[in-house]
Chains A and B, each alone.
Chain A
């Protein structure tokens, strides 16, 4: 006889689309995004909330998706890296990271993009220090953060409509 599956059905808006998935009660959002929905742009560097590689937006709030239960997003809006570039147009943070060479291996990049987007929505004109503190939860082992911070501040400028 088959064992009961013990899965729950969850409905959420993910990157603008109504999405339904099955998950077990203990499963975290990062795992479901990656393994059930093939949204592999959300990375897992630690699974303990310490690296920020799994950053996503839930109802516009920046969270570590390795710390959120998948079942918690029932009825919520989730935005992952796959949903940031809309209609083929990169978000200014993505564009500026490319222009500044703000990534080396790129494993931290999706999380950085999500976190920086959230920053610029909260604060369109951050100081260098504010950007550094906001992004302190996104570990990057490759770049020393220099070009990431420059890219984010440059993106802020672009979004404010100022010439670079």
Chain B
């Protein structure tokens, strides 16, 4: 039962508090701050995908007039086996440092090997070219199968996955789980299908490149401004990478121009700090778009073998899933999620699920919206659709027969609480889109998706000013409207107008620790901290009113922004004005580790038409349905659903990292790495299904990540229905479709 059942402002659609600055160009993003006396950093990057660095000579660069500092990997800590939390899951320091700068060995093209700082960006670029690096070039491997072959070049001779003998391999991780007896279940199944599906490596594609500016004062105190999904994580990681105490580092999060998981770590920040320290001047660094593609963590490509068994009546009885993922050059831990979550939408008591990840000479993979789930879901959901067809069943009916509900457990063991997957399927089945006839020549696909949703740590502080306005400080960068959600939640609890609430993203020294804006956790967990701080404010105001009226605090009630007892009323504003004489300033903080998280589910319906001559696929109609718990600000819930769906559409149809034989990325720009543009798309219809999360006071659950999960299998099926040819390897770009149609 949720603590709050009825809402006054939650669910309304006010203009976001930061909107005005963003439509008028005043909002400052990563590259928009200049510090007095700043100079400019530039990174020297490896022209080879695999090499031993024999020497780095920066002397010519440093001798140039206007060049004030140079650095190499020797200026960063030498990582042992320390683990860092705080991003989206734990990461080893030895997997973070080399993504900032290599130390001795280069494992992917464009990896940073040195950096310079100079008085102008042009001079810094020129100085970077003057740095002399001698490489011993080694053969590169970018394909996961080749990387596992006996004769593959080995990337790490000092890393051995758990449970394997200590001999060289590029296998990074291997996780396998079994529930029940899948082999016996396959034996008794009436129908068994087995296919292999693949999804390419792709990039988050945020429009804002990484950028930061750092200043170090003579006492060694660091001020860092950067675009990030988590400035506390930046502080932690920068400290770990440079060896500077966290207490000496203050990080301010700029506005952030997209992240989608990709800005939950550090790349430039530690370099700017080290260069600023050496130069004694602030250092600004902005990453070039090509380097964003070449040298920041993309999403792993994956190959998934799926074997499913069902009875003739439509009962799914067995599953065996094996997902092989590309980790890039270091361990990005992509394999656990498919192993644990591949089957999460289905009642399955007998299943096996395996995830493996492999080192290749590419940048270490990083989180991208529902990390690793879209890849395995392409396989699992498309196989489900293929199995439904084999059974002669409607794909939604088949899913309804087998979808999880309250009390069912997934591979992680814990039974679900109240969830809305079946409701989403019902909505889909009855939706005018699904009820309509498919246009001549087009095809229709349906798929569902799951994401676990994160909780983690959040903090909020509420400061009441003497006119009754309220500043709400949180540590969550606002990547897509979270200030509006925080203000709505504070307004709901306090009972004062939305316009009187002024939400802010506070720097690391001004609010309690807060983990990244990621994992669809901000509205849930940071929102919870805001709700708790607001409840403390209400309790204190009631206590003050009670003592004014000479009654017990317990008999004072709070409604409509005022304390009440009998005839007596004191409004929020009155209590704020008189705070000085009634006990002092009104300021309240709450910090928590949220344990209120609930998984999210969605169902997407896609109509697509394939031009049989050109191979071009047009999405003609698209509907996204999602269990959003309680939608705080529906515009931004719909926005997440639409944006996630379109990222999935891009991945399904076009987006793909293309490497040449030397391990050089061939499409490191928006011209050749083509993300969806407005003219590629129809409107994305949305239906928000509200099944309140029973663990959260307002019923909130994360919504941001689920929507990227269903598109790939939904589109792949629509393409099959349109063409009659089954494609199981993405992306479904025109050349692939034309070739597929030709070979029938």
Contacts and interface: CB of A to CB of B under 8 A. Distances in A.
Contacts of A108: 207, 257
Contact of A98 (B23, B26, B209, B645): B23
A48 B639 contact: no
Interface string A30-54: 0000110001111111111011010
Interface stretch (B217-225, B231-239, B417-425, B668-676): B668-676
Nearest to A41: B25
A138 interface: yes
A139 B677 contact: yes
A94 B24 contact: yes
B23 A94 contact: yes
B319 interface: no
Contacts, number: 183
B258 A105 contact: yes
B209 A45 contact: yes
Contact of B643 (A99, A143, A149): A143
B27 A106 contact: yes
Contacts of B678: 131-133, 135-136, 138, 140, 145, 148-149
B736 interface: no
A162 to B, nearest CB: 20
Nearest to B672: A50
B205 interface: yes
B669 A48 contact: yes
Interface centre among A42, A43, A146 (most CB of B within 10 A): A146
B646 interface: yes
B289 interface: yes
B29 A43 contact: yes
Interface in A68-85: 80-82, 84-85
B647 interface: yes
Interface centre among A97, A128, A136, A142 (most CB of B within 10 A): A142
A157 interface: no
Contact of B677 (A42, A107, A113, A136): A136
Interface in B489-518: none
Main secondary structure of the interface of A (DSSP, over half): loop
A104 B643 contact: yes
Interface stretch (B13-21, B268-276, B382-390): B13-21
Contact of B480 (A104, A136, A138): A104
Contact of A140 (B16, B28, B207, B640): B207
Interface in B21-60: 22-29, 31-32, 34
A41 B647 CA distance: 25
A148 B645 CA distance: 15
A135 B670 CA distance: 15
Given A39-B25, A51-B670, A103-B22, A142 B480 contact: yes
Given A81-B24, A143-B643, A105 B670 contact: no
A44 to B, nearest CB: 7
Nearest to B22: A106
A34 B211 CA distance: 14
Interface in B197-214: 204-209
Interface in B596-635: 633, 635
11 contacts: A47-B288, A100-B635, A101-B638, A104-B479, A105-B206, A107-B206, A131-B678, A132-B678, A135-B677, A144-B681, A147-B638
Interface of B: 13, 15-16, 18-20, 22-29, 31-32, 34, 204-209, 255-260, 286, 288-289, 479-481, 633, 635-636, 638-640, 642-647, 669-671, 675-681, 683-684
Interface of A: 34-35, 39-48, 50-51, 53, 80-82, 84-85, 90, 94, 97-101, 103-110, 113, 128-129, 131-133, 135-150
The 7 closest A-B pairs by CB, nearest first: A41-B25, A107-B257, A101-B635, A144-B646, A81-B25, A106-B22, A104-B480
